[in-house]
Amino acid sequence: MYLKYYNLREHPFCATPNPKFLYLTSQHATALNHLLFAILHGSGFAMLTGEVGTGKTTICRKLINQLDERFYTALILNPNLTATQLLRAIAIEFGIPDLPRDKLGVLQAINSFLLQANAAGKTCVLIIDEAQVMSIELLETVRLLSNLETNSRKLLQIILVGQPELRKKLFTPTLRQLAQRITVRYHLKTMNRQETAEYLKHRLKIAGADETIHFDEDAIDEIFGNSGGTPRLVNAIADRALLAGYINGTRHIDRSIVRLAIHDLKEAA
């Protein structure tokens, strides 16, 4: 609705996790580097956790974009499945054709694919998002996948991504073998006030904004105070603030405009 008014190419604060818009705070860059290190050094297992809306999924998509033709990747966004369904979803993501129906057959198909990829010099990477919803049985299935290996290396690099509940779940005695295998771990925190300001500027610039769109310091204070520096909430408030600016005929976003946006969001909740 407001794109033409602000002369924007696209929505700067869309909720969709688009890696093009990823603003790498120091901790987001560190998280990405941790995951790259785990993959490149064959760690087998890595884990990324963070509160809702801190940018975990966007980092995953950025990670996939940075992996070149030497890598095969599979991204599971909703692992709330049975063990057989999860294995089939992984196989489909890797592009494995003609899958058998039974669990053992699918596992064998995955193993054959991983062996062929390894022989071709490829590294296979499995990323499971929202891993905190996985049952103990599913997490054990993933652990068994990590057993697929040659004499010299793991055939599959696995990254578990989830909310803090995932860390708590791994304290379960039944999962101690899995927890011991996760050698690379990183926990994402929310942005501070300065990072929030830079985040807003970054996303506006990527969307094609010129200097006529301006969030003043009081507006940024209001956004930070009401979002706690959580990127998803910052997006929601900033997007609604641009809409409020459009409705009120201004490209200068001040505290009053942001408060209107916050009020509208609360009314819509």
Residue range 193-210: mean pLDDT, rounded:
95
130: pLDDT strictly greater than 90? yes
- What is the helix, strand, coil percentage profile of the chain, to 5? 55, 15, 30
Q: Residue 267: what pLDDT? A: 86
Instruction: Residue 110: name the closest of 66, 67, 158, 178 by CA.
Output: 158
Q: What is the mean pLDDT of residues 92-119?
A: 94
Residue-range domain boundaries for the chain: 26-188, 191-268
Residue range 71-97: mean pLDDT, rounded: 95
Taking the model in full, what pTM does it have?
0.90
User: Is-same-fold flag (26-188; 191-268)?
Assistant: no
pLDDT computed for residue 151 by the predictor = 75
The pLDDT of residue 43: 85
- Which CATH number is 191-268 given? 1.10.8.60
Digit-coded pLDDT (tens) for 213-238: 999 999 999 999 999 999 999 999 99
Q: In this structure, what DSSP letter does residue 149 have?
A: B
CB 90 within 8 A of CB 110: yes
Provide CB contacts within 8 A for 147, sequence distance 6+: none
pLDDT higher than threshold 80 for residue 146: yes
Average pLDDT over every residue of 137-141: 92
Contact by Cβ (8 Å): 220, 234: no
Look up residue 72 and give its DSSP letter. Answer: E
Average pLDDT of 98-105?
92
Tell me the CATH class for 26-188: alpha beta
